[in-house]
Amino acid sequence: MAPKQSHQQRIGDRPAVKYTLITLTLVLTAVLLVVPLVSIFQKAFIDGLAVYWQSLADPDTLHAIWLTLFVALLTVPINLVFGVMLAWSVTRFEFPGRKLLMTLMDIPFAVSPVVAGLLYLLLYGNNGWIGAWLYEHDLQLMFAWPGIVMVTVFVTCPFVARELIPLMQQQGREDEEAAVILGASGWQLFRRVTLPNIKWALLYGVILTNARAVGEFGAVSVVSGNIRGETNTLPLHVQLLYEDYQATAAFASASLLAAIALLTLIFKAFVEWRQERAHRAETDH
Amino acid sequence: MSTSLNATQRKPRHKRVLPGLGLSLGSSLFFISLILLLPMTGLVMQTAQMSWADYWYVITDERVVASYQVTVWAALLASIFNGVFGLLLAWVLVRYEFPGKRLLDALVDLPFALPTAVAGITLATLYAENGWYGSLLAELGIKVAYTPLGIIVAMSFTSIPFVVRTVQPVLEELSPEEEEAGITLGASDWSVFRRIIMPSLWPALVTGVALSFTRSLGEFGAVIFIAGNMPYVSEITSLMIFVRLQEFDFPAASAIASVVLIVSLVLLFAINIWQARYLKRLHGR
């Protein structure tokens, strides 16, 4: 062990240690994250731009893109409203069972997506107690788009609340209580006081919900029935092409999903930068 | 610790001025009941129709037991790897300044944003014998794709962010005084890390590893492409459920799913209780 330098205040600051750790991290990150990401696009464009466009313009692919966006478009608003409601109730009030409610909210994180899909299939499929009733009334939810939307809502429901709860807890209730005392109505309170404080976290929650909604695979594959051109979402379509030995086409579709993931990450970095700046402005006062 | 807690509890009861308890809590409870709890009734009813002997026979079937073993071992090794790699990443992100740090921080979340099916085909292609990594590893005589090793690779990819994101905030809040004291008294970097930093860090590290483990147990999309899915060797439990469903054996699928569901709910509750306890200890200090 080298003799301690007197100016060293924290461990791991000696250049030898520091640069070894940084290099090790960068190498591991490159191998485990960066190269896989780059390889998606490399495989997608391997046969040139024309082939890339051609595989995306395939009617089944276009339908899968459309269905995926449609599902996300229905899922995100539902989970947006639920997330705000849940975050408001657990951060603004004390009530018995509050912790239990927050744990229940995490169920979709812990449950395997295949199990999630199965739960819905058993309840709303023709043999389930609700499904049998629906069947008598000629309503088919499973193996059709409503089922896909339902399991996607299940899988993505914690994300908005998860983003909001820590932020709202940290901000406290004072601003809002002041507004109420000054006579603000419930809606005014939310729109003028709460929303400006949480808008970036809320927006990130929405973007993350969207990313997970377009990418859900396991749960959707249980309830979709994989009907090409009908109930095939983009991730299922990627699987179908890949198992059909159409690797380039599979990666072309995958590249769209990867692009959404990248935009999500960029947006997250942007939100964090905004929050940091706001925080710094506050402490400078 | 207990005195400070009692002090906050004894604070004069906050008069409730904020509106919306009924609306927000009511709609949250309604949503959770409808989306998360109601679907479980289907599984309960399906498994209740089976006799105990049938149930036991299905869940202890040789092939199913092999799938439990594969899943648990792979998830365990993947989450231990992520414990080490995640701790390294968190340390480097919190302690050092270097060009590209923001980019690295954003990249950590890639596995959360990237659809699992996309991760699955990408890793399968990279680690296949003709892939970028697979061909290099083949020269060393290591086979990853279509072996249990591939399952570990896929599981650790999809759960990288958990450890980083639970350890990072705790590491940021560590006060430098104790560390300085240790250094001044002549302790080596390693013993300061082990004796001063680790005691504050390990509850968060355990939480992160446990979250990573839970997520890995349920992982489906990323795993099935790279696993090869050989019965008794590289078949995960989620896939077992899927296979039973495709055979239209709903009772067997439900029985196996009930085992998985119970294990993940127990893990979820255990993690949340553990986390609440150490957070209390941390803030009570």
CATH code of the domain in which A106 resides? 1.10.3720.10
Give me the average pLDDT of each 10-residue run along chain B (285 residues): 42 67 92 93 92 95 96 97 97 94 94 96 96 94 94 96 93 86 86 89 93 95 94 94 92 95 94 84 62
Supply the pTM of this predicted model: 0.91
Tell me how far apart the alpha carbons of residues B195 and B172 are, in angstroms, rounded to a whole number.
18
Helices (H) and strands (E) in chain B, counts: 17, 0
List the structure tokens of B147.
């072996």
The Cα of B268 is separated from the nearest Cα of chain A by a number of Å equal to 6
Nearest C-alpha in A relative to B25: A89
Distance (Å) from the C-alpha of residue B269 to the closest C-alpha of chain A?
7
Query: CB neighbours (10 Å) of residue B198?
Result: 12
Q: Which of B38, B72, B50 minimizes the C-alpha distance to B255? A: B50
Cα–Cα distance for residue pair B204/B191, rounded to 1 Å: 20
Q: Which CATH superfamily groups domain B53-284?
A: MetI-like (1.10.3720.10)
Asked if residue A14 is part of any domain, the answer here is no
Tell if the CB–CB gap between B17 and A22 is shorter than 8 Å: no
Q: What is the model's pLDDT at position A282?
A: 75
Reading phi first (left if > 0) and then psi (alpha if -120 to 50, else beta), residue A95 is in: beta
CB distance A124 to A134 below 8 Å: yes
Which residue range is the domain that position A170 belongs to?
58-111+149-218+232-284
For B144, residues 6+ apart whose C-beta sits below 8 A from its C-beta are B127, B133, B134, B137, B150, B153, B226
Tell if the CB–CB gap between A110 and B268 is shorter than 8 Å.
yes
- List per-residue pLDDT tens for chain A, 285 residues long: 444 444 557 888 888 899 999 999 999 999 999 999 999 999 999 999 999 999 999 999 999 999 999 999 999 999 999 999 999 999 999 899 998 999 999 999 899 999 999 999 999 998 888 988 998 998 888 899 999 999 999 999 999 999 999 899 888 888 899 998 898 888 889 999 999 989 988 999 999 999 999 999 999 999 988 777 788 999 999 999 999 999 999 999 999 999 999 999 999 899 888 888 877 887 776
The Cβ of residue A194 has, within 10 Å, a number of other Cβ atoms equal to: 22
Which one of A19, A122, A142, A266 would you mutate to disrupt binding with B, by most B Cβ within 10 Å of its Cβ? A122
Q: Are B126 and A39 in contact (CB under 8 A)?
A: yes
What number is the ipTM of this complex?
0.91
Cβ contact, residue pair A218, B116, below 8 Å: yes
Nearest Cα of chain A lies from the Cα of B35 at a distance, in angstroms, of 6
Question: What residue type is assigned to position B156 of the chain?
Answer: S
Q: What pLDDT score does B285 carry? A: 46
Residue B12: strand, helix, or coil: coil
Q: Is A251 on the interface with B (CB under 8 A)?
A: yes
Q: In chain B, what residues touch A21 (CB-CB under 8 Å)?
A: 88, 91-92, 96
pLDDT for B14 equals 57
Three-class HEC string of A222-269: HHHCCCCCCCCCHHHHHHHHHHCCCHHHHHHHHHHHHHHHHHHHHHHH
pLDDT of residue B40: 92
Give a yes or no: residue A138 inside a domain: no
Write the DSSP symbol of residue B195: I
Give φ, ψ of A171 to 5 degrees. Answer: -75, -25
Question: Nearest-CA distance from B130 to chain A in Å?
Answer: 13
Q: What is the residue whose two structure tokens read 């989620």?
A: B238
- Tell if the CB–CB gap between B18 and A177 is shorter than 8 Å: yes
The pLDDT score that the predictor gives to residue A216 is 96
Structural domain includes residue A74: yes
Sequence-distant (6+) residues with CB within 8 A of A206 are A76, A80, A160
Q: Distances in Å between the alpha carbon of B17 and those of A159, A185, A213, A272, B210?
A: 28, 12, 37, 31, 39
Domain count within chain A? 1
